[in-house]
Structure formats: structure tokens, C-alpha cells
Amino acid sequence: MFNCTNWSPVILIMGALTLGSCADPPEPRITLSDGSVMIYVPGGEFDMGARESDFEGHPNPDLEFFKAERPLHRVRVSPFYLAQLEVTNAQYVQFYTAFVNTPDSTLLHPDHPAELDFQLKHINAQLIRRNEQPVVSVPWFAAVAYCNWAGGRLPTEAEWEYAARGGDGTYRKYPWGNAPPDSDFVWLANYDPPNGADMDGVGFTAPVGSFPDGVSYFGILDMAGNAQEWVQDWYSDEYYSGVDDAVDPAGPADGIYKVRRGGSYRSAAYGIRTASRAYGRPKHSTALIGFRCARDP
């Protein structure tokens, strides 16, 4: 096999002419124009969805949300970059200011509702609007526009789960592994513990990256809890039944709801599992929902 590292310069040039140039390996980290650090996620295969054992101890394992996580199915994803952190309030304000000053319709999704602006509104603004907290109350359409503005895109649902689960063949119930999110009195995520929402030290969203012990296999933070995250795909509770061995699945062709992943600061432990799925109308938002951007290599 032609190997760029083991050939003399002359042979290397000849080989490049016949087999194509030896491209430099992708940078392990890049930075989007908004300052987001992007982690390179190499392509690979993984088992997407939930195992039956994920629901042990739950009084109702047949809830709609849980059914939509099954069956477990094999998926291959191509390489991509994913932001190490969720988009913050400070970053979103930069986007909002830039768009208000210089509106750019090319950033908008073709179906962007004419009446939908990018202003953030919520009654708990003093608790969730600090610069370093993840931006929330963002509609899916606004998340699309933001990622376009920053030079990225929303991740697909398969990309998101692969980045959260890892590429070494290990099934991880949570991004960090299978231990509970409060394992050995170490808080691994900002979620809603049984004994009170602020038992993990945070009552609302935490500054991004506040739970480094919950880092994923690829080095990505806050993929469980904090802010629930929009992804690209339309939602269907039956979609997993027909995509075994899929390559870069992108979800149903259309739908009513868009998928949200990762759970939030108001989610119980079951809701911040790697396989957990939720959904919402793309023009609606709540104080639980944020996003992060992806990018092609």
C-alpha cells in the first residue's frame, strides 16, 4: 500500500501523481469565527440507541420517549468537527448584534418564519443570561442561522450521539461511561438530582465546561445536562426501525418536530443518557434548549 511516510521524495512525487496527493491529517482542533473550539471526531461505526438495561429501575420503561430510542442499530458516520462547548450567551449576543446591524438573509433556513426574530426572551433572564452560561430559549431556526453565521452547521442526530458515546466500540450510557451522574460524590453533569435541582451546585444553567469530569470520549463537554441541544434532524419515534447499517443518516425527510438531545438542568438522570431523545417545534423555544455547532472537515 502506498504510504506517504515511508517513501523517498522522488517516489513520493510519482506516487502522488498516480494515487493522489498525500493530504495533511486534519487538525485535532480548529476554531470557528465565533471563537468556538471545534474537536475533530474521526468517522466510525457505533451502536446507536438504547439498550433494554438502560431502563432498569424505571417504573414505566415503555414511555414514548424510551420506545423512540429503540431498537439499537448500527450506524456509520463520516468525520466531522463538533464544538467542545455549547454556544454561550456572549457568543449569541455577538451574532444578534451583527445580524441586527447587517441583516443577511443567506444565513436563514429557507423555511424561516418571517415573524421569527432572534431576540432572547425569558422571565429568568437574571439567572440564565450570564455571558459564560449556554444560550437558551433559542428556536431551531435561530440555531441554524447562528451556525451558518459562525461557519458551521447543526450536527445530525447520529453525529451528536457518536460524539457523546465514543468511537472505541464501548457502549456508554452517559458520555463519561456507565457510572451515575453523581458517582462517588463527584458531580458529572448539571441535571436535576432526586434531592433537589441545586444539589449539584447549580440551580439553573452552569457556565459551559463546569463539569470536566463528565467529559466525553472525544473530549467534548456538557453533552449530558446543562442545556438540551437542537440537532439537524426531524423527529420520528419509528425512524430507528429502518436505518440499521445506515451511513450518515440524516433523519426523516420531513416532520413536525425537530430532535433535541442531551437533556438539561431540569432533566432527571434518565433524561441525560447518551441515547435520550426529545423533540420540539422548530420555531418554539424554552429556557431549557440551547445548541452547539458542527462543521465538515
Q: Are 120 and 267 in contact (CB under 8 A)?
A: no
CA distance 56 to 247: 30
Using alpha carbons, select from 199, 243, 181 the residue that is nearest to residue 251: 243
The mean-pLDDT minimum among 67-81, 183-197, 266-280, 283-297 falls in: 183-197
Sorted by where each starts, the structural domains of the chain and their CATH numbers stand as: 27-295 (3.90.1580.10)
Q: Are 142 and 211 in contact (CB under 8 A)?
A: no
Q: Per residue in 51-93, pLDDT tens?
A: 999 998 888 888 888 999 999 999 999 999 999 999 999 999 9
Backbone angles phi and psi of 9, in degrees to 5: -55, -40
Average pLDDT value for the chain: 90
Q: What percentage of the chain reaches a pLDDT higher than 70?
A: 90
* pLDDT digits 0-9 by tens, 152-189: 999 999 999 999 999 999 999 999 999 999 988 889 99
Q: How confident is the model at residue 12 (pLDDT cuts 50, 70, 90)?
A: very low
264/90 Cα distance (integer angstroms):
19
pLDDT tens-place string over residues 138-156: 999 999 999 999 999 999 9
Q: Which residue from 148, 212, 150, 159 is spatially nearest to 42, judged by alpha carbons?
A: 159
Q: What are phi and psi of 176, to 5 degrees?
A: -85, -15
What's the pTM? 0.91
The DSSP code sequence of 66-125 is HHTT-S-EEEEE--EEEESSPPBHHHHHHHHHHHHHS--GGGS-TT--TT-------TTH
SS3 label, residue 165: helix
